[in-house]
Amino acid sequence: MTLTARRVGGAPVILRPLHGRDRQQWEALRAENIEWLRPWEATSPEPMATGLAFRQMVRHFDHEAIEGRLQPFVIESEGRLVGQMHLFGIAWGSLRSASAGYWVAESVAGQGIGPFSLAAACDHAFLVLGLHRVEVNIRPENAASLRVVEKLGFREEGLRRHYLHIDGQWRDHRSFALTSEDLGRKSLVEVWNRSQEPGHK
């Protein structure tokens, strides 16, 4: 699944699957942003655990997507990779919910790509997949990500103590969510674009 969303005042943002041919660009982007992401990115509590090799990761993403548990995307802008956006932990049945996780490169931080990509992923979740709820969990210290969910109108639902292992410790997270009732049939991308128009208050 590839999503292309046009935004006011900036280049279109493309959310698409990660491919084998992306390896060199993706690994370079990760290396450039390792310190930028260290305080916010999930780690393993097992000291000897190692991450998946690139091709294993691509196969894992593809498999989980086929099984309906994950919608994995890289974020592309102006022909280059600038981050990742995932809808994960997708549950169907009476729950119809997912969590969203994302990161953008330090070089594009503050350009609106993070909130716009999250808006596009939420539109996909609600209007295409037919999910009912999207949740985002953020460390209290992550001011940039907190601004993202604030801009998009996510509702805060509480604090999750020792929720996720990050950078060597179990970290608290603030929990935010949107439901289909919050948006009706509105597009969050359209809501975001209107908010960026000159003269909008």
Evaluate whether residue 44 is within a structural domain: yes
pLDDT score of 194:
81
How many structural domains does the chain have?
1
Closest by CA to 126, choosing from 72, 187, 74, 192, is 187
Quote the CA–CA distance of 133 and 163 in Å, as a whole number: 19
pLDDT score of 46:
82
Enter the pTM of the model.
0.91
pLDDT score of 176:
98
Domain span holding position 26:
3-196
Evaluate whether residue 78 is within a structural domain: yes
Whether 86 contacts 120, CB under 8 Å:
no
Domain of residue 89, CATH code: 3.40.630.30
9 φ/ψ angles, rounded to the nearest 5 degrees:
75, 15
pLDDT score of 50:
64
Question: pLDDT in tens for each of the 201 residues of the chain?
Answer: 789 888 877 788 999 999 999 999 999 999 999 999 999 988 888 865 666 788 999 999 999 999 999 999 999 999 999 999 999 999 999 999 999 999 999 999 988 899 999 999 999 999 999 999 999 999 999 998 998 899 899 999 999 999 999 998 999 999 999 999 998 878 999 888 887 776 655
pLDDT score of 84:
96
Evaluate whether residue 69 is within a structural domain: yes
Evaluate whether residue 201 is within a structural domain: no
State whether the Cα torsion 16-124-148-138 is positive or negative. negative
